[in-house]
């Protein structure tokens, strides 16, 4: 009886292996949990183009599922069929949402397979073009003079812009009215239109606007300046007196828990190839992003890193008492 069961189990395992041997046989969808045209979307679209080649020129499409700081899209992938055809590209929100949301319909460390990190991206502190402050000291004065009237755009609770904005409000000790969007693409539109005053956003979305002079840029969020022609002139918030201010946004790739091991291995191998693609690297570097070359491209280290980021940002969020239902 025992032998029969064992034999059946190995036949089933073999059938699963054979079923996925030809992966991918149909289009792969990468869910981006924010609106199209924003920074996460831009990383995903460049990555989709780079990763399709090592996946045998597969079709890789990006689907935008924005809302609730990225948690709607992440929740959708957590419940998707674990067959390798639905993946998630998400950022630091994987580390902030577990503490930020009292009710979350996924468990980051239990409901996902980790496929490797893609890049680290600094953020920039921006103001609308007609804001009277041209320098950071002038911005500080303007913030003081306009207490109670300042609008700060973000991509919802748990998003990168929310985290950076929260830390910025703590740093300057001024409460602002936050205006949430489904991503920083629509938030940027409103900043361009002057409907909101300030916003933190990844350089992958802001470099073009800063270069065009359509927004005011005051600082970068990392402790090191960003070495691109457009961004190098921007001081860090740390050097401007907010010692230790350091927010860097990682982007990683995830699959629903239970995706077959051979599929995960194929996607991870393709991810590593994509990160070496000269076109991809050049585009990311031009936008101030740093493509990951360390051990975090491996699933186990990726998961360990996210677990440590959950602890790190969890403490910050708890100290700020920032929770969403």
Q: Which residues bind ligand ASP (CB under 6 A)?
A: 34-35, 38-41, 154-155, 159-161, 183-185, 201-202
CA distance 260 to 278: 30
Residue 78 and residue 97 in contact, taking contact as beta carbons nearer than 8 Å: no
Q: Which among 63, 69, 74 has a CA at the least distance from the CA of 107?
A: 74
Whichever of 35 and 55 has its CB closer to ligand ASP, that residue is: 35
Contact 186, 64 (CB under 8 A): no
Measured in degrees and rounded to the nearest 5, phi and psi for residue 89 equal: -115, 110
Q: How far is the CB of 166 from ligand ASP (least distance, A)?
A: 11
Q: Which of 241, 314, 291, 295 is nearest to 43 (CA)?
A: 291
Q: Tell me whether residue 19 or residue 72 sits nearer to ligand ASP (CB atom).
A: 72
Q: How many CB atoms lie within 10 A of CB 32?
A: 27
Reported as type and span, the H/E element at residue 242 is none
Give the shortest CB-97-to-ligand ASP separation in angstroms. Answer: 11
Q: Which is nearer to ligand ASP, 104 or 155 (CB)?
A: 155
Dihedral sign, Cα of residue 104, residue 105, residue 109, residue 110: positive
Cβ of residue 220: shortest distance to ligand ASP, in angstroms? 15
Q: How far is the CB of 180 from ligand ASP (least distance, A)?
A: 10
Nearer residue to ligand ASP within complex by CB, 40 or 259: 40
Which DSSP category does 324 fall into? B
Q: How is residue 33 written in tokens?
A: 């949990």
Task: Name 3's Cβ contacts closer than 8 Å, sequence gap at least 6.
Answer: none
Least distance CB 161 / ligand ASP (angstroms)? 3
Point out which residues pair with 289 in neighbouring strands.
none
Least distance CB 82 / ligand ASP (angstroms): 25
- The nearer residue to ligand ASP, 154 or 268, going by C-beta atoms, is 154
Nearer to ligand ASP, 154 or 222 (CB): 154
């Amino acid at each position: 009886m025992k032998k029969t069961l064992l034999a059946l189990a190995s036949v089933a395992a073999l059938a699963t292996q054979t079923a996925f041997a030809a992966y991918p046989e149909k289009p792969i969808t990468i869910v981006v949990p924010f609106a199209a045209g924003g920074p996460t979307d831009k990383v995903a679209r460049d990555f989709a183009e780079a990763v399709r080649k090592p996946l045998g020129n597969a079709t890789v499409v990006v689907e935008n599922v924005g809302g609730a700081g990225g948690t709607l899209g992440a929740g959708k992938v957590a419940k998707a069929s674990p067959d390798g055809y639905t993946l998630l590209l998400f950022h630091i929100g994987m580390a902030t949402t577990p503490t930020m949301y009292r009710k979350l319909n996924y468990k980051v460390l239990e409901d996902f397979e980790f496929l490797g990190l893609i890049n680290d991206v600094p953020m920039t502190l921006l103001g609308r073009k007609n804001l009277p402050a041209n320098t950071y000291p002038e911005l500080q004065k303007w913030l003081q003079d306009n207490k109670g009237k300042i609008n700060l755009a973000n991509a919802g609770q748990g998003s990168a812009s929310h985290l950076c904005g929260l830390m910025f409000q703590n740093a300057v000790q001024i409460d602002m009215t936050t205006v949430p969007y489904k991503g920083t693409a629509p938030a940027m539109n409103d900043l361009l239109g002057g409907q909101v005053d300030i916003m933190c956003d990844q350089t992958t979305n802001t470099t073009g606007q800063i270069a065009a002079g359509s927004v005011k840029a005051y600082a970068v969020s990392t402790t090191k300046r960003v070495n691109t022609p457009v961004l190098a002139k921007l001081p860090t918030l740390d050097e401007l007196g907010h010692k230790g201010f350091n927010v860097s946004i990682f982007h990683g790739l995830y699959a629903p828990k239970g995706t077959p091991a051979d599929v995960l291995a194929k996607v991870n191998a393709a991810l590593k190839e994509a990160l070496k693609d000269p076109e991809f690297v050049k585009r990311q570097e031009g936008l101030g992003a740093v493509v990951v070359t360390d051990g975090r491209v491996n699933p186990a280290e990726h998961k360990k890193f996210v677990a440590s980021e959950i602890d790190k940002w969890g403490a910050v969020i708890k100290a700020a008492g920032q929770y969403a239902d």
